[in-house]
Amino acid sequence: MRRKSAKSPQNIADYTLILFAFFWMALIIFLPLASVLFNAFKGGVSKYLETFADPDAMDALKLTLLVTAIVLPLNIVFGIASAWAITRFEFVGKTILLSIIDLPFSLSPVISGLVWVLMFGAQGWFGEFLQAHDIDVIYALPGIVLATLLVTLPFVARELIPLMDDNGTDEEVAAVTLGASGWDVFFRITLPNIKWALLYGVLLCMARAMGEFGAVSVVSGHIRGLTNTLPLHIEVAYNEYNTIGAFGAATILVGLAFVTLAIKTILEWRYADELSAQHRH
Amino acid sequence: MPAEISSQDGFIAPKAFRRTRVIPGFTMSLGITIFFVSVIVIIPLLALLMRPWENGFSGFIDTLFDKRVFAALKISFLCSLLAALVNLFVGVLIAWVLVRYDFPGKKLVDAFIDMPFALPTAVSGIALSAIYAPNGWIGGFFDDFGIKIAYSPIGIFIALVFIGLPFIVRSVQPVLSELEAEVEEAAETLGASPLQTFNHVILPAIMPALLSGFSLAFARGMGEYGSVIFIAGNIPYVSEIAPLLIVVKLEEYDYAGAASVGIGMLMISFAILFALNLTQRYFAKKGL
């Protein structure tokens, strides 16, 4: 099968299409990015740097990093375990399990936060029990972690499942037949084969965990210095007309988005064969 | 492609191997998976599904058809639909440009398509709001003509256009680059104009990808929160979106009401998904 190769633009129609694509990207993607930088530096560099001296902003950044540090390892364990179970064994209900793993992708972030309030809020399923035992879930760290977990659950699994399915089981079966233990097989054969896809999934998961707004907003209660994550701090600052503070904090997350896209693009170019087929360019 | 050849000609462990479980770790890996899926997804969603019926089925219906809730659902639905439609055209165009042309900056454009995925929604929200507010770069221009973009449904629409673009481009792009050159050239040889070739040869081939990208963009739009609430202004009956009403109901400790709105949103998303599935089957039957 032969495919049409990309060509240089030749006539007016070609140039119009390309120019329109550039125009649209400038309008929809680049303009908002420029606006963040413009507003962050509106009062000069020193005003911008004051953002990083604001204790509320720094507490928010610390909380965001803490939540991410809790969520990432859990997602890695789930991603590897689910991919191992789904691609290495046959069992009843696999298709349903796959759809459930995908489900958080199609949930509104606000719903992903709401469900935890319905479980652990004052009038939730376990509300009375938690109150009686003085345990805080909603408006506290556990709620933020649970909401972030729900939102990010599919990220690592969705990278590993198609790849491990493609790779097949020959190498692992051979190793087991030759007497290797399960962990040996995993660390010496499976992990080296999936390491770049794992990194890819972890990267997307991290970006989402650090940037999640809707789900966290519902369960956080916006308590300054305690339950405000960086995206929530941005909201509070913006609503208080602290433009430089809001956009200054936003530059941290814009930087994160750039790093994410850069590493993602590098992985897609360099290790295309070791990612699942959907990311091969 | 070497990958295809090896999987066709090489040795693949027969399914029996998987069933006899030569590879260890079945109980542990499935156990961990089911634990996570139950605790993080299934049980919380059950809490959502079971909550609205506190005041009976009529309580659920009354919430959905409450004037303010109904207006919000309608605004979310219409803005998501319109934004997904615009992205349908623009997304195909950009995917086409990226697949078919070589030009300087192409790889950069390609990488930046994913920016709406990578950028936290709160950041997109305040950035879009700043641009389209009456004193913003673009909002100021339109304000001179008496057109309000931010704090109106137009603002919601713009935010959803931003958030939905990658869904269409990333669905269509791989299909477009895998198209066989011969079919197109045959159409051209037989005297088809470029537009005819596109409509009768290319469009049918990318249709399934297009529809799935459309439904993803629509569903994301229905549920989108962070990038919308800043630019929307959240004026009841005018620019209030459905997800925000969940937040409003929760602030009033109306858990059943919040759950009802959530289920209403999910029902609309599933209805669209179902309708698109039927459309896809209809096209498949017609042999398009």
Do the chains contact at B247 and A217, CB–CB below 8 Å? yes
Do the chains contact at A253 and B253, CB–CB below 8 Å? no
ipTM of the complex model: 0.92
Distance from CA of A44 to the nearest CA of B (A): 18
CA B100 to each of CA A7, B59, B164, B183, B197: distance values in angstroms, whole numbers, following the listed order: 6, 54, 22, 16, 15
Q: Which amino acid is at B25?
A: G
| pLDDT value of position B20 | 55
Do the chains contact at B255 and A1, CB–CB below 8 Å? no
Residues 6 or more apart whose Cβ sits within 8 Å of residue A101: A82, A153, A154, A157, A158, B37, B41
Query: Which pLDDT band, with edges at 50, 70 and 90, does B287 fall under?
Result: low
Contact list, B111 vs chain A (CB under 8 Å): 261-262, 264-265
| pLDDT value of position B4 | 40
Query: Which pLDDT band, with edges at 50, 70 and 90, does B282 fall under?
Result: confident
| pLDDT value of position B5 | 39
Residues 6 or more apart whose Cβ sits within 8 Å of residue A232: A60, A213, A216, A217, A220, A222, B122
For residue B180, what are the β-bridge partners? A3
| pLDDT value of position B10 | 47
Q: N- to C-terminal Cα distance for chain B?
A: 28
> For B94, which residue in chain A has the nearest alpha carbon?
A21
CATH topology of domain A43-279: MetI-like fold (1.10.3720)
CA distance B169 to B110: 10
Number of neighbouring beta carbons within 10 Å of residue B114: 20
Q: Which amino acid is at A92?
A: V
| pLDDT value of position B284 | 76
Query: Which pLDDT band, with edges at 50, 70 and 90, does B15 fall under?
Result: low
Mean pLDDT, consecutive 10-residue stretches, chain A (281 aa), reads 81 93 95 96 92 92 96 98 95 93 92 97 92 92 97 96 92 91 93 95 95 95 86 95 95 95 92 77 50
| pLDDT value of position B7 | 41
Which spans in chain B are helix H?
2-9, 15-20, 26-36, 43-50, 56-65, 67-100, 106-112, 115-118, 121-132, 137-143, 153-177, 181-189, 194-197, 203-223, 226-232, 242-251, 255-285
Contact list, B214 vs chain A (CB under 8 Å): none
Domain B57-285 has CATH 3.90.1300.10: no
What are the boundaries of each domain within chain A? 8-40, 43-279
Q: Kindly report, residue by residue over B86-132, the tens digit of the pLDDT.
A: 999 999 999 999 999 999 999 999 999 999 999 999 999 999 999 99
DSSP letter, residue B237? T
| pLDDT value of position B281 | 83
Query: Which pLDDT band, with edges at 50, 70 and 90, does B1 fall under?
Result: very low
Residue with more model confidence, B22 or B105: B105
Token pair recorded at residue B108: 């950069």
Do the chains contact at B114 and A114, CB–CB below 8 Å? no
Contact list, A173 vs chain B (CB under 8 Å): 13, 17, 22-23
What are the boundaries of each domain within chain B? 14-50, 57-285
Mean pLDDT, chain B, integer:
89
Query: Which pLDDT band, with edges at 50, 70 and 90, does B3 fall under?
Result: very low
Which spans in chain A are helix H?
12-25, 31-40, 44-50, 55-88, 94-102, 109-120, 127-132, 141-152, 154-167, 170-177, 182-185, 191-211, 214-220, 230-239, 243-270
